[in-house]
Structure 1
């Protein structure tokens, strides 16, 4: 009994210790994310109101290159730098990462780059946490925990999913393992940053899945499980395609980054070439719906929101978003991968639903989280995200889609700093 009391006392003391250090990080991160989301909305509305501005995308690309060239230090590595610092503390995360990624992401969206927002929020949270860890004079292991809290705070605040933010930060470091040493600190930081961000009046996009598939029915004598095996089969097959889509995105983004270096001698010309490709593809497609976040569009077509209804996207919308986002990020523009992955998954899910007769809203939601799970190797976080965004009634299908996609994406991923702890297969060739 004495040992139990001693352990509980140590745990309580540790929680107080971390909470006191987390609060400032979370408040600053939540405030910065609120500012970022407000600027992002302004940039999106300005671009649609003055569409001619997209012709300045090449100039914007050069500007971003010069910013990082003269002021970026190691900040160019982005999320990978933060993850490497958590794996092996020592190099540090520069505080200039915050203003650089904030400005460059807003510029990317203002002038028409196809990118997301998670990378920016996570980088801001990580760099703020790194700054506070220096002020606190923390030991290496404690610095790693605080960096995880910064990542969780950024992710939870930018999407309005605090539980997902906490799990994502711990799950994304390793394929096959979750770092539970920061479980409660990450949850506290993610939740607090979300509360702070919301306090500024920031509203997140609401998604809805009206389809409800009962997992059980009541019969005499108690409960009896009853599944729609046809639908279950469709979800598994869709999960395979979601996994392949996530793998394709990661492969294309990494391959294009290498290809730019091989084909173009002067680094400052790479974003110019990328911008030309983005604008050319958009003109050939006859639409600019795939630029920016693509959460919503003025014409209410080819967006994440419209993908939850039949006919809301074309059958190949997911592919065009995949290509344009890979070109944008590989060419040096800034933002994140996650929101474009949401679009890719939702649009692909809509297409699969149309071809198989499945519910469009359910399969769009499954793709929304499953392609994200595949590309980032975070199936547990993505399953929880499904519950936070869409409700828990269809959690069985969330789990099946995310876990299937996770395995069928192989060991690829958008984050180079992610390490393999438990391989996805033990079968030797």
Structure 2
């Protein structure tokens, strides 16, 4: 028995040391690349703030992105879906050119005003560099899958400063309805190491704040404990968050399908760029361009402003959804997640006013819940709420994320996610829509 225990201990130590050898250098490289990306992205966004006329060159930027991928992209055009497919079934490989190509084209998109995010870029950087390192280490197929998953965790955790979320996201995003924890420890190590590397390069993340929620609320002239009404309001809002996540997924895919059918080649991003310019001109403000984190001018609607009373217009969430769907659906590059944060936070701001609920709390719930519904990662999004906003409102984070997940349909924004069939006949959004049509 003692010999068996000793051998297991030795095996565990060898396993840990072996994966540390693989994970640490890979994560440091990914973290350094993410730090460079975030620095360049910040420079590009603020340069456009100082030179707003750059927006009128967005169609030309789209042509440049189109030909960069046509000449050099090849399979890299599939982005996150390629990485997910490669984790499920290694074969085609993730090209080394994916990391620099997605970095450059995402910076171009933001420099000229396209409405996109940064998560997709970070995940592709992580996956591409992890695949490159797996070749250097000469890993077998199973270990390569693990390192690829860890690369996704490193990219996601480093770009948002949420390493635990990054690790959970990497194992949860692969399949809807099932989580395999086999690669979780390497993912956690990778996400932590990459995030630490980003901090080493003095890249700072945006901080959000939830105001203290009062312990009682007035309803029908009575003072009732908040815990009787606030969860119900949170669930009601989360249903809306889930439906909007569903609408976002369908709209992005719809714009892409429509563009490919009616427009050809490089004219697709030209058309998308022209529509973005026209919408910005009609609205008379640039609030829905780019990331939406930093304010271009005092009083602009941003993710940060959505946490304050009056910090968003009633349909800011809808405009951001439209701008992002057009940008990503017509071939510009970037991620979906930060726009989802914007859509959720501004929708939460609007719903807080309608439901007489705490604005900052509901902005935070929308921030994570719309993301949960669109990516089908409710557990990761619940943990993200804890990492970004603190653990005080964990029950509300969980209620919002899992409710939005249920009401957002069966398919998320990543078409390569495996769907594990689950039966929720009452809440299946497709069945609900069919009933409404009848």
Q: TM-score, normalised by structure 1?
A: 0.95
1:279 and 2:280 matched: no
Offset at residue 232 of structure 1 (A) = 1.1
Aligned equivalent of 2:143: 142
Distance in structure 2 (CA, Å) of the matches to 1:96 and 1:313: 39
Partner deviation per Cα, 1:365-397 (whole Å, 9 max, x = no partner): 000000000000000000000000000000000
Partner of 1:368: 367
Q: TM-score, normalised by structure 2?
A: 0.93
Query: Residues of 1 paired with 2:266 and 2:7: CA distance?
Result: 60
1:86 corresponds to: 87
Aligned to 1:32: 33
Partner of 1:163: 164
By how many angstroms is 1:7 displaced? Answer: 2.9
Match of 2:219 in 1: none
**Corresponding residue for 1:394?**
393
Contact 1:296 1:306 in 2 (8 A): no
Match of 2:220 in 1: none
Gaps of 5+ in 1: 216-225
Question: 2:99 — aligned with what?
Answer: 98
RMSD: 1.5
Provide the C-alpha distance between the structure 2 equivalents of 1:90 and 1:424, rounded to a whole number of angstroms: 32
- Contact 1:171–1:179 (8 Å) recurs in 2: yes
Say which SS state the counterpart of residue 265 (structure 2) adopts.
coil
1:423 to partner: Cα distance: 2.2
**Secondary structure of the structure 1 residue equivalent to 2:9:** helix
Instruction: Describe the SS at the equivalent of 1:363.
Output: helix
For these two proteins, the number of residue pairs brought into alignment is 418
2:328 pairs with 1:344 = no
Counterpart CA distance in 2 for 1:346 and 1:34 is 25
Q: Distance in 2 between matches of 1:145 and 1:355?
A: 46
Deviations 1:101-138 (A, max 9, x none): 00000000000000000000110010000001111111
Structure 2: tracts of 5 or more residues without a match:
217-224, 432-438
In the alignment, what sits opposite 2:311? 312
Give how far 1:141 is off: 1.1
Structure 1 residues 77 and 425, CA gap change in structure 2 (3 angstroms): same
CA shift, 1:254, in A, is 0.6
Report which stretch shifted further, 11-20 or 248-257.
Answer: 11-20
Distance 1:367 1:78 in 2: 26
1:49-198 to 2 correspondences below 5 Å:
49-198=50-199
Q: Do the aligned partners of 1:79 and 1:119 also contact (CA within 8 Å) in 2?
A: yes
Q: 1:222 matched to which residue of 2? A: none
SS in 2 for 1:209: coil
Match of 2:221 in 1: none
Contact 2:81 2:415 in 1 (8 A): yes
The match for 2:240 is 241
By how many angstroms is 1:424 displaced?
5.4
The Cα shift of 1:214 comes to 6.6
Deviation at 1:157, TM superposition (A): 0.5
Contact 2:213–2:358 (8 Å) recurs in 1: no
Is contact 1:254–1:330 with CA below 8 Å preserved after alignment? Answer: yes
